[in-house]
Amino acid sequence: RRDVVYDLGCGDGRVVIAAAKHFGARGVGIDIDPERIKESAENARKAGVARRVQFRNEDLFEADIREATVVTLYLWPWINLKLRPKLLSELKPGTRVVSHFHDMGDWPPEKEIQIEGHRIYLWTIPAARSK
């Protein structure tokens, strides 16, 4: 299947760009900083994936993320916790959530791995959602 990867707090766009370039995914990066959005768009153009990705200057708590099949996060722990109800209520069952370095409190990850000293957590949005 073709994934739609959303990176919340996308920074320079590297996650969305890599997903498009290496896996054929479509991607959406969301960041509150307009300079990071410009930088992301330029990076996507240079990588040759500008037609497969878009970057939005939005507040991640207000953004429409319902289209995502994968959501990636590299945010502060308190932001992950504040974002959790939105993820559980707006994402479709089966959507994967990947967080770099920080967990989701009492929502246990399905998988936790270490890659070159980086901790990665994975969850899947359940069919029966409980907040």
pLDDT, tens digit only, all 131 positions of the chain = 589 999 999 999 999 999 999 999 999 999 999 999 999 999 999 999 999 999 999 999 999 999 999 999 999 999 999 999 999 999 999 999 999 999 999 999 999 999 999 999 999 999 864 44
Annotated domain spans of the chain: 4-124
Quickly list DSSP for 21-52. HHH--EEEEEES-HHHHHHHHHHHHHHT-TTT
Whether 51 contacts 76, CB under 8 Å: no
The angle at the Cα of 101, spanning 31 to 41, to the nearest 5 degrees, equals 25
Instruction: Return the closest-CA partner of residue 97 out of 107, 18, 2, 14.
Output: 107
Whether 15 contacts 5, CB under 8 Å: yes
Could you tell me the pTM of the whole model?
A: 0.92
Q: Tell me what pLDDT residue 128 has.
A: 61
Is CATH 3.30.930.10 the right assignment for the domain spanning 4-124?
no
Which DSSP state fits 92?
Answer: P
Q: Tell me what pLDDT residue 127 has.
A: 81
